[in-house]
Amino acid sequence: MPTPAATDSRLLRAFLAVAEELHFTRAAARLYVAQQALSRDVRRLERELGAELFVRTTRQVTLTADGERLLPHARRVLAAQDDLLTAFGQARPLLVDLNSAGLVTGRRVLHRARELVPDCELMARYESGLTKAAADLLAGRLDASFGRYAGLDAVLRSGLEQRPVRYEPMALVLPEDHPLAAEAEVPLAALAGETVYAGAGNPRTREWTDLALRLFEGRGIRLAPPLPLAVGDEEFQRVIAKTRAPVLAVVDFPALPRTVLRPLVDPVPLSPVSLVWRKGLVHPGLDALRRAAAETASAEGWLRRPAGGWMPADDEAVMGALA
């Protein structure tokens, strides 16, 4: 069996999971990846080694002789790498961007990840938007973030990986004396003729503004023009109170003084949230974060799409990546 100068540890982990489970679906679930992605990694490893590692039939998966020969070597390599990374992982915190201090999704996942690896330090950061966070992820200034992955430029996505976490229903923040504030829910049709703020002009949140434009298209809803960049909750509240424009938000958006939060319906627009991290990043805290995202999404039903929910087609493709 030829041996390449360097083999991606992800490929070895894919091989090891399948070798121990002898089942691609169970191995993919164990690694929290799509089965198709796992199969691609195994095939890539086989190409790099110039050897077939598994015999696959419709009924079972078994190791070939070359697969049996690779197995102990893969275990030793990965165990040594884990020892090294654990030592350095304990010294270097994992930096996790939650976008905004009041948002629930990322905070819930981070809290669960901290429970899973109490000896790891996972530090929260607040960059206010995935577009800004993505550049920091690629530069190594952050390790993970949450947000709308399909809204990122292809150049940014090429250096990142993602895992769908939640279809988060969208809502509207209204001044408490706004005519629509008296309604329990706001039909999208009721916003025809309204001007709604959705971060236009904010370079940190372009993915959110793009989602708003797609939602407003053909419905007679106008996008509010750019406002001065407000950094921090207090400044944001002050600017919004001054303009009195309704604000596009999500159902878990934190309360603001003298405003009400009303869910949008008919249809229910969805904000697709993914956990996003830099390609090639290996850290015990990231493993815990991915596991926590899967556990929390399952327990809360976050990936059960509401009947009649609205979402752009490219977001549907991204969010269905692990289906």
Per-residue model confidence (pLDDT) at position 236 = 67
Sequence letter at residue 71: L
Q: Residue 50 CB: number of other CB atoms within 10 A?
A: 11
Q: Helices in 55-205 by DSSP H: which ranges?
A: 65-91, 104-116, 130-139, 154-157
Instruction: Assign a CATH topology to domain 169-270.
Output: D-Maltodextrin-Binding Protein; domain 2 (3.40.190)
Which parts of the chain sit beneath pLDDT 50? 1-5, 323
Per-residue model confidence (pLDDT) at position 86 = 61
Q: Which sequence spans correspond to the domains of the chain? A: 9-90, 92-167+271-319, 169-270
Q: Long-range contacts of range 18-24, CB-CB < 8 Å, 24 or more positions apart? A: 18/42, 18/54, 18/61, 19/53, 19/54, 19/63, 19/67, 19/71, 19/74, 22/60, 22/61, 22/62, 22/63, 23/61, 24/61
Alpha-carbon distance 87 to 287, whole Å? 15
241 closest CA partner among 220, 259, 219: 259
Query: What is the 8-class DSSP label of residue 310?
Result: B
Rounded to two decimals, what is the model's pTM? Answer: 0.72
Same fold across 9-90 and 92-167+271-319: no
Alpha-carbon distance 115 to 292, whole Å? 9
Cα 313 from chain centroid? Answer: 17
Per-residue model confidence (pLDDT) at position 5 = 42
Instruction: Assign a CATH topology to domain 9-90.
Output: Arc Repressor Mutant, subunit A (1.10.10)
Q: What is the pLDDT of residues 221-232, one digit of tens each?
A: 999 888 766 666
Q: Identify the CATH number of the domain defined by range 92-167+271-319.
A: 3.40.190.10
DSSP secondary structure letters along 281-307: ---HHHHHHHHHHHHHHHHHTTTSPPT
